[in-house]
Amino acid sequence: MDLKTVAVILFDDFETLDAMGPVEVFGCLPGCQLRFLSRYGGEITSSQGVVVKTENAIGQPDAILIPGGQGTRALTQDADFLRWLSVFIETVPLCMTVCTGSALLAGTDLLNGHNATSNKRAFSWVTSLNHKVHWQPRARWVRDGKFYTSSGISAGIDMALQVVVDYHGREQAVDIAHRMEYVWNDAPGNDPFAVEW
Amino acid sequence: MDLKTVAVILFDDFETLDAMGPVEVFGCLPGCQLRFLSRYGGEITSSQGVVVKTENAIGQPDAILIPGGQGTRALTQDADFLRWLSVFIETVPLCMTVCTGSALLAGTDLLNGHNATSNKRAFSWVTSLNHKVHWQPRARWVRDGKFYTSSGISAGIDMALQVVVDYHGREQAVDIAHRMEYVWNDAPGNDPFAVEW
């Protein structure tokens, strides 16, 4: 399956690079379109002050990307939001999270029984939310079935390049990394920020 | 001087990560506020489809950041835009460019006689625009006086962390890189994407 549409789920106080790192990667993938979605549409402001225009509905995307950030703290307690999010996750063939975006995914219970990782500074908090997830303390990113979960912030770039490998081949991913002048960490087990846990 | 306000100059078809990498860095710097500015204000769309809200005027920032991207191609021929840009550059104590953002800076003639670098895939085009700039084909970033110019796209993150070192000390930069789970290339001469030129 080619990735033609990637929907990025935004919410106030998302972490800018969690979203924009993978957006750069998929935006450089020929034929792939990014869409920006939020619960109610309209303007969404990141923790770093970027105001992004979003839609409140789109067709069926090929993949969704859920960033993390301070905004996840309240949303993990928001049953309405988690139900809304679940619908998207259940219907897409590929779901990616960056950083504490995995806290939202874990909040839907759809990650139960799966391997996953998260931001390493927030690891205690994220893992405390759902003990049915097999949390990995040493992983740049983890793939388990249709779920890709990455470590903190910039790790999302490495994970997104791996998704390009898995869907479009290594040559395409290497070309995008080179175009970005990015030194790609392409080994999921190479986690310079791993925590004891 | 503490960096309290960093203004990011946006234009249609800017490269997303050129802007958003440094935005993440400065957004993690305590007390530093990001502002997003464009010639006429309003919504600006990146090459990857991110629609960002901008202002058309702000007070005096401590620094400006100029991203690159496809949009620079037309703007290097737009004398009105370059005059508008010159006014900002002349009045700020610190001017950063990422990727082909240096083509815009070079277009103002304010970079004449200075050392600078740019995106390596677009190096021939950028350097052809102004022969009075001392272009460096092997540099992750270059500092010359108040000008910091970086190589392509992700190099802007490394440069922004160096700016944090220069203004707020190494400890602060290391902490931000760690928070971002980012493996920082902190040597300006270490350029894995250098070109023969």
- Tens of pLDDT, residues B119-168: 999 999 999 999 999 999 999 999 999 999 999 999 999 999 999 999 99
Q: Compute CA B150 distance to the chain's CA centroid, rounded to the nearest angstrom.
A: 7
Q: What percent of chain B has pLDDT over 70?
A: 99
Alpha-carbon separation of residue A23 from A8, A18, A74, B55, B164 (angstroms) = 8, 9, 24, 23, 25
CA distance B125 to chain A (A): 16
CA distance B147 to chain A (A): 21
CA distance B137 to chain A (A): 14
Chain A residues inside the 8 Å CB shell of B67: none
- What b/e sequence results for B15-42 when a residue is b if at least 16 CB atoms lie within 10 Å of its CB, and e otherwise? bbbbbbbbbbbbbbbeebbbbbbbbeee
Is the Cβ–Cβ distance between B24 and A50 less than 8 Å? no
- Please report whether residue A11 resides in a domain: yes
Closest residue of chain A to B140, computed from CA coordinates: A181
- Please report whether residue B9 resides in a domain: yes
Nearest by CB to B185, from A24, A180, A183: name it.
A183
pLDDT reported for residue B195: 85
Task: State pLDDT tens for residues B42-76.
Answer: 999 999 999 999 999 888 999 999 999 999 999 99
**Residue B23 in this model has a pLDDT that exceeds 80:** yes
Residue A73 sits in a domain whose CATH number is 3.40.50.880
- Please report whether residue A191 resides in a domain: no
- Please report whether residue A124 resides in a domain: yes
CA B5, CA B41: separation in Å to the nearest integer? 18
The domain tally of chain B equals 1
**Residue B197 in this model has a pLDDT that exceeds 80:** no
- Please report whether residue B173 resides in a domain: yes
- Please report whether residue A45 resides in a domain: yes
Considering only CA atoms, which of B38, B91, B90, B47 is closest in space to residue B70? B47
Question: Residue B162 has which token pair?
Answer: 């160096």
Domain that holds residue B91: 5-179
pLDDT reported for residue A103: 98
Question: Residue B13 has which token pair?
Answer: 């078809």
- Please report whether residue A163 resides in a domain: yes
**Residue B112 in this model has a pLDDT that exceeds 90:** yes
Task: Note whether B154 contacts A182, CB cutoff 8 Å.
Answer: yes
Nearest by CB to A48, from B24, B48, B157: name it.
B24
- Please report whether residue A195 resides in a domain: no
Task: Note whether A21 contacts B26, CB cutoff 8 Å.
Answer: no
Question: Residue A69 has which token pair?
Answer: 């950030």
By the 10 Å C-beta count (0-12 exposed, 13-18 middle, 19+ buried), B84 is classed as middle
ipTM of model: 0.97
**Dihedral Cα B82, B61, B173, A188, nearest 10 deg:** -60
pLDDT reported for residue B196: 76
By the 10 Å C-beta count (0-12 exposed, 13-18 middle, 19+ buried), A131 is classed as exposed
pLDDT reported for residue B1: 80
Q: What is the pLDDT along chain A (197 residues), one digit of tens a residue?
A: 899 999 999 999 999 999 999 999 999 999 999 999 999 999 999 999 999 999 998 889 999 999 999 999 999 999 999 999 999 999 999 999 999 999 999 999 999 999 999 999 999 999 999 999 999 999 999 999 999 999 999 999 999 999 999 999 999 999 999 999 999 999 999 999 998 76
pLDDT reported for residue A196: 76
pLDDT reported for residue A142: 98
Give the best residue of A48, A157, A191 to mutate against chain B (max B CB count within 10 A).
Answer: A48
